[in-house]
A and B are shown apart, each in its own frame.
Chain A
Amino acid sequence: MRTSLNDIKQIEAHLLSKMSNEDALLFEAQLLLDNQLKENLLWQQKTYALVKLYGRNKLKEELEQVHQQIFNTQPTFRTRILSFFKKS
């Protein structure tokens, strides 16, 4: 793997606490010395946060599709659900 990808792998291991104590210490020392690495770590953190948000949205979209699909194809189910709500 390219060096830049290895850095990403290392940062990931650090962020997800998957490093051995020894490696973690070494990595923290590197972070102090290497501003580029530190900056990359911050951006990578934001990447995971964004992936999480994306995953959430996707999950909700799939649930919405299921809802539409069942409402459109199963009238008995639909009528039962609608009966729980007051007509407005």
Chain B
Amino acid sequence: MEVLEKEITEVQTDFVQLYKTTFPKVARYVGGKGGTLAEAKDVFQDAVVVYFEKINSEVPFLKKGDMEYIVGIAKKLWINKYREKNRLQPLEESYNTYFQKDESTVNTSLLLRYVEKTGRKCMDLLQAFYYRKLPMKDIAGRFGFSGERSATVQKYKCIEKVRDTIKAKSLSYEDFFE
């Protein structure tokens, strides 16, 4: 557990910088349009996720253009998600261009909660590799493996474990996936 906490602190240092420079701009925009702090926080977080997935690598913070990009996405998300909330037609379509629907269905969230309970350590390892795209060498260090090779083997073991959990759970509750 100690290792995992260290990882979070390291990553946070970068996010503090990102947050302090970017969030005020998002907050000013949303506030100026009559939105709430909670809404500003929500679209800011989503925008960072979009940015993060776009750059597709470990946080190389932070160039000026990147900050503007995040603020731009946050504005767009807020307009789509909140400014139009009282209109008849929900404008979810453009929101979904950022977030593919099939990955965030209720059933998937349910399944995720189950997998988290049974194998959080594996999920942390897998997300460090596949989502955060950290180099295997760093992952080995952070998670306390003797080297890249054993971390790689563990990664495949984790895929197997999570896969089998998903399979077992999905077959017992067939409505997890349509």
Contact = CB atoms under 8 A, between A and B. Distances in A.
Size category of the B interface is: 35 or more
Interface string B10-50: 01100110011001100110111011110011001110110
A4 B160 contact: yes
Interface in A41-66: 43-44, 46-60, 62-66
Given A4-B160, A44-B159, A53 B12 contact: no
A83 to B, nearest CB: 8
Q: Is the interface of B mostly helix, strand, loop or mixed?
A: helix
Contacts of A48: 130
Interface stretch (B76-84, B87-95, B108-116, B140-148): B108-116
B139 interface: no
Nearest to A74: B20
A26 interface: no
Contact of A70 (B19, B44, B164): B19
Given A8-B163, A59-B52, 8 more contacts: A5-B156, A5-B160, A47-B162, A51-B126, A51-B162, A77-B20, A84-B30, A84-B31
20 contacts: A5-B160, A8-B156, A8-B163, A12-B159, A44-B159, A46-B177, A51-B123, A51-B131, A54-B116, A55-B132, A56-B131, A58-B124, A58-B127, A59-B45, A60-B45, A67-B41, A80-B24, A84-B32, A85-B37, A86-B34
Q: Top 6 closest A-B pairs, CB basis?
A: A55-B131, A84-B31, A55-B127, A85-B31, A5-B156, A51-B126
Interface of B: 8, 11-12, 15-16, 19-20, 23-24, 27-28, 30-32, 34-37, 40-41, 44-46, 48-49, 52, 102-104, 108-109, 111-112, 115-116, 123-124, 126-127, 130-132, 153, 156-157, 159-160, 162-164, 166-167, 170, 177
